[in-house]
């Protein structure tokens, strides 16, 4: 198996896990932090709000809105 794609759909919106991760990294870098400083990432997707809440290093949260 060469690749696995995972999509989340809510209403008429769709987002892939890859899109969430790319946006998370971009927002993280925009705060002046380095990607290698991310030790753990937990992603919670809220279908009611159509957004992902990313908990980084068990202490910082970044919201990804589609």
Task: State pLDDT tens for residues 3-51.
Answer: 889 999 988 889 999 999 999 999 999 999 999 999 999 999 998 888 9
In a domain, 2, yes or no: no
Residue 52 has what pLDDT? 95
User: Could you tell me if 65 and 12 are in contact, meaning their C-beta atoms sit under 8 angstroms apart?
Assistant: no
**Which pTM was predicted?**
0.86
Domain count, the chain: 1
In a domain, 53, yes or no: yes
Dihedral angle, C-alpha 17, 23, 28, 31, nearest 10 °: -160
In a domain, 29, yes or no: yes
Site of tokens 């990313």: 54
Reported as a pLDDT band with limits 50, 70 and 90, residue 1 is confident
Parent domain of 25: 7-65
In a domain, 1, yes or no: no
């Amino acid at each position: 198996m060469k690749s696995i794609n995972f999509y989340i759909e809510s209403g008429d919106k769709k987002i892939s896990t890859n899109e969430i991760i790319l946006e998370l990294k971009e927002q993280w870098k925009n705060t002046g932090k380095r990607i290698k400083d991310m030790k753990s990432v937990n992603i919670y997707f809220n279908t009611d709000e159509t957004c992902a809440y990313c908990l980084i290093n068990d202490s910082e949260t970044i919201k990804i809105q589609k």
